Chain A
Amino acid sequence: MTNLRIFTIGGLLSYRALFNWIHPAQYIPTMLLGPLFQILFFTYLGRFAGAESDSFFVIGNAIQICAMSAVFGMALTVGGERWTQTLSSLLATPANRAALFLGRALPNIANGVMISVFGFVVGWLLLDFDPPASAVPSLAALIVLTTASCSAFGLLVGALGIRFRDVFMIANPAYFLMLLFCGVNVPLDRLPGWMATVGSCLPLTHGIAAAREVAAGASLGSVDSLIVKEALVGTVYFAVAYGLLKFFEIESRRRATLETM
């Protein structure tokens, strides 16, 4: 029961406390308009390059923008506590760490899904992206899966934020490297082999590939291997992130570096 309370109420409270972007004056420009312009920019860049269709760029970027919440949000669950000097108080509690951090992931996943859905809607309204109505439920399911998987990666970034002073030094490159490695804007088969291999080990990659096939008319069942891979990647990242959180917490206590700014 206590763990459930930490998971739900704790997660919600921490989200309200740590993120100033929940205010509309911050949320709309940061979480909606910024990603919208990202979609427009890459679609127009793609048109100029004569590479792929609008649909390719809308799907890639509309899913990737979930990382705004999934990566930056999760990174800030640790970085924000450090910034407000509450990280040591938090880690001094006997709270179950899995409930603590998974509870913090949930609002970020919900937010990431909202951002992605917004991206798809504006892509449909403003660009040449018109998936069949029958594909919408499958696309929605893929958005949820990919955002959850990306949040696990974000938790790993957050874990590294315990060890390193500035979590944005990790979150920023992670966000932009996803644009390059995950097949968001360049098909994986057009990247050098090593980049495609790195991409296949990252979240988003398989989810985006599956979403493109579904939007082209494929059923969810026909992309099950991609779905399994995306889920597997997310699970592995969560396991590694959880292990690192425990390890860095012990190390930071030993070295008294939890509040180092």
Chain B
Amino acid sequence: MSAQRIGRLVWVGWVFRLKEMSRSGLFVFTSIIEPLIFATLTYYLFTAGSKPGTVLYSALGAGMMGIWSTTLFASGGAIQWQRWQGTLELLVAAPPPFLLVVFPLTLGSATIGIYSLTATLLWERLLYGLPFDPVHPLLFAISVPSLILGLGTLGLVIASGFVLYRNANALSNMLEFPVWLVTGVIVPLSLLPGWASKIGWVLSPTWGFRAVRNSVFGGPVWPSIGMCLGLSLVYVFVAGYFTGIFERRARERATLSLT
């Protein structure tokens, strides 16, 4: 496939996914209401504590947690819904590589997570009247898309598992809290046992979250962006490898349409 056709496929798939998800009440809830609940909860938890965090820290953390939730549920769901609707076989049989068909779906899912960040920052602005004033506004504008890309490619790896395993959605139900923990999205990694924080090192969201947080509160941003994008590239290769294997096995076992 030419680069132009790949670009067109990704663009059309991404736009379609954004439109599709924006009309889903469940995802509007996951990406907007749930982060607002968590922003409020963490705010009161911090105020109840002896070490109160700022409203902005709660808002930013909850917003980024929301981006992960949306990516997690929608990336796996992207395959599962196709399966339920009987269109997964058609997508697998389509001429473009399956990886290229799925990538815009997971990227679109991560992009919807922007709603989360917007919602929690608006919550901070409207309820507490505090301005959103990042230390590095330009780097903030760069780090957010990097985070989205990092999550989108991680979603691609997750989605590849759904091709073969019908029960893979159980993983979606399980992975929300642990990834919040090991990526240090709101709880510093230094509080976790050493082995747990090391898991976060190979997860792109760890670096993406760090880049966004440092761009807002100050600190080095570029190294984190670099790590996030580097890991994203690795994920693409990993997802490509696994998708190829899983796709072939699913065809051999004739399990693509089984719900």
Contact = CB atoms under 8 A, between A and B. Distances in A.
B253 interface: no
Interface string B40-62: 11101111111111000000000
B29 interface: yes
Contacts of A30: 170, 173-174
A253 to B, nearest CB: 25
B-side binding surface: helix, strand, loop or mixed? helix
A33 B41 CA distance: 22
Interface in A9-47: 20-21, 23, 25-26, 28-30, 33-34, 37-38, 40-41, 44-47
A180 B186 contact: no
A55 interface: no
Interface stretch (A98-106, A142-150, A171-179, A218-226): A171-179
B41 A34 contact: no
A232 interface: no
A191 interface: yes
Contacts of A180: 37, 40-41, 44
Given A169-B29, A177-B37, A179-B37, A37 B178 contact: yes
Interface string A151-189: 000000000000000101100110011011000011100
Contact of B44 (A34, A41, A176, A190): A190
B160 interface: no
The SS class assigned to the A binding surface is: helix
A40 B173 contact: no
B90 to A, nearest CB: 21
B174 A33 contact: yes
Given A26-B167, A176-B37, A190 B47 contact: yes
A48 B50 contact: no
B47 to A, nearest CB: 7
B33 interface: yes
A35 B95 CA distance: 42
A125 interface: no
B199 interface: no
B247 interface: no
Given A26-B170, A37-B177, A44-B181, A172 B29 contact: yes
Contact of A172 (B30, B50, B187, B188): B30
Interface of A: 20-21, 23, 25-26, 28-30, 33-34, 37-38, 40-41, 44-52, 166, 168-169, 172-173, 176-177, 179-180, 185-187, 190-191
Interface of B: 25-26, 29-30, 33-34, 37-38, 40-42, 44-53, 167, 170-171, 173-174, 176-178, 180-181, 186-188, 191-192
